[in-house]
């Protein structure tokens, strides 16, 4: 019964976002558990349904992470690359997870990560927690997404890796077009 509800909720969210362009500012925090370091950066996000996600960093200036169809363009830590996700499982997983989280297609995100889903509500927001069933070399041990209940806009995405590294994306000034 829970699974059916999740699927229905997921489909409704997907319907609500399809055909839209979303723009927002974001703050990205990377916590490296091993060293205890926190790296904070921020920038501007633009998403065009179904699979264009542009994250342009203003801090550090010039860095970007762009999903354009099956290609991912990266300019981070001084390294530039355009990755064909058909040839790279790790980046493909990262690409799919982000797209699925933004489009509220968390059912798919859970499947991709061999994970369970749980739904809850807090402060009028919908919270989805995707927890991996099994440890893996790649992918995420836990994904937490907070959606604005009114319009299913993602407010926060937390991606936890198996080595404890946590990437948190907090969206603000969200505009739908």
Partner 1 sequence: MFFVKIYRFFNKHKLLMYSILLLSSIVFVYFGLKLQYEEDLSNLLPSSKSKESGLVFGNLKVKDKIFIQMQGESPQTMIQYIDELMDSILVYDEYIANTFYKVDADLGLSAIDYILGHIPIFVDTSLYHQFDSAIAQATTTMAENYELIMNDESGTITQMVSTDPLNLRQFILPQKSTNLGYTFIDGHIFSKDSSVILAFISPNFQSFDSKSGSNFIHDISTAIDKFSESHSDVEILLHGAPVRSAGNSDVMKHDIFFTVGIALLIILFVLCISFRSVSIISQQIFPVVYGTFFSLACMYWIKGCMSLMSLGIGSVVLGVAISYSLHVIIHQKFTGDIVQMLLDEAKPVCLGCITTIGAFLGLMFTQSELLRDFGLFATFVLIGNTLYALIFLPHFLKNKEKQSNNKILTFVDKINQYPYDRKPLIVIFVIMIIIVGIIFTPKVKFDNNLKHIGYESEKLLKSEALYAEKNNNGGIQRYYAAISPTLDEALNVNQKLSHCLDSLKNKGILTSYTPIVSQLFQSQETQKQRINAWKAYWTKEKINQANTAIHLAAQKYNLDANIFMPFQAMVEMDYETGNLYQEGIIPDGLICNFIENSNNKYLIFNAVQMKDKSKVIVDEIIEQLPHTVVVDPFYYTGNMITLIHKDFNTTLLISSIFVFIVLFLSFKNIVIALIAFMPMFFSWYVVQGFMALLGLEFNLINIIISTFIFGIGVDYSIFVVQGLLSGARGENLQMLDYHKTAIFFSAFVLIVVVLIMLVATHPAIKSIGISTLIGMGATILITYSLQPLLFRWISKNVFFNKFLKK
- Residues contributing to the site for partner 1 (CB under 8 A): 30, 32-35, 37, 39, 74, 76-77, 79-84, 86-91, 134-138, 141, 161-165
Residues 139/20/153/144 CA torsion (nearest 10 deg): -10
Taking the complex as a whole, the smallest distance from the CB of residue 104 to partner 1 amounts, in Å, to 27
| Cα 60 versus chain centre, distance | 20
Q: Is 116 helix (H, G, I), strand (E, B) or coil?
A: strand
Longest dimension (CA), the chain: 48
Radius of gyration of the chain (CA): 15
Taking the complex as a whole, the smallest distance from the CB of residue 91 to partner 1 amounts, in Å, to 7
DSSP code string of 60-99: TTT-EEEEETTEEEEEETTEEEEEETTS-HHHHHHHHHHH
Nearer to partner 1, 136 or 155 (CB): 136
The DSSP 8-state label assigned to residue 34 in this structure reads T
Residue 104 CA to residue 57 CA, distance in Å, equals 23
Q: Is 13 within 8 Å of 25 (Cβ atoms)?
A: no
Nearer to partner 1, 142 or 149 (CB): 142
Nearer to partner 1, 44 or 73 (CB): 73
Taking the complex as a whole, the smallest distance from the CB of residue 44 to partner 1 amounts, in Å, to 21
Taking the complex as a whole, the smallest distance from the CB of residue 33 to partner 1 amounts, in Å, to 6
Taking the complex as a whole, the smallest distance from the CB of residue 86 to partner 1 amounts, in Å, to 8
Nearer to partner 1, 61 or 123 (CB): 61
Nearer to partner 1, 35 or 61 (CB): 35
Nearer to partner 1, 3 or 138 (CB): 138
Taking the complex as a whole, the smallest distance from the CB of residue 67 to partner 1 amounts, in Å, to 14
């Amino acid at each position: 019964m829970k699974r059916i509800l999740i699927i229905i909720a997921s489909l409704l969210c997907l319907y609500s976002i399809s055909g839209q362009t979303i723009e927002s500012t974001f703050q990205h925090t990377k916590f490296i558990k091993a060293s205890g370091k926190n790296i904070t950066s921020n920038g501007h996000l633009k998403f065009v349904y179904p699979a264009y996600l542009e994250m342009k960093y203003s801090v550090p200036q010039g860095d970007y992470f762009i999903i354009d169809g099956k290609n991912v363009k990266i300019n981070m830590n001084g390294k530039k690359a355009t990755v064909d996700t058909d040839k790279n499982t790790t980046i493909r997983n990262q690409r799919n997870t982000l797209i699925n989280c933004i489009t509220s297609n968390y059912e798919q995100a859970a499947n991709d990560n061999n994970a369970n889903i749980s739904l809850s509500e807090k402060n009028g927001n919908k919270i989805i927690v995707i927890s991996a069933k099994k440890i893996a070399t790649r992918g995420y041990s836990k994904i937490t997404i907070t959606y604005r209940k009114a319009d299913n806009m993602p407010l926060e995405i937390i991606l936890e890796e198996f080595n404890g590294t946590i990437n948190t994306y907090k969206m603000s000034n969200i505009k739908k077009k």
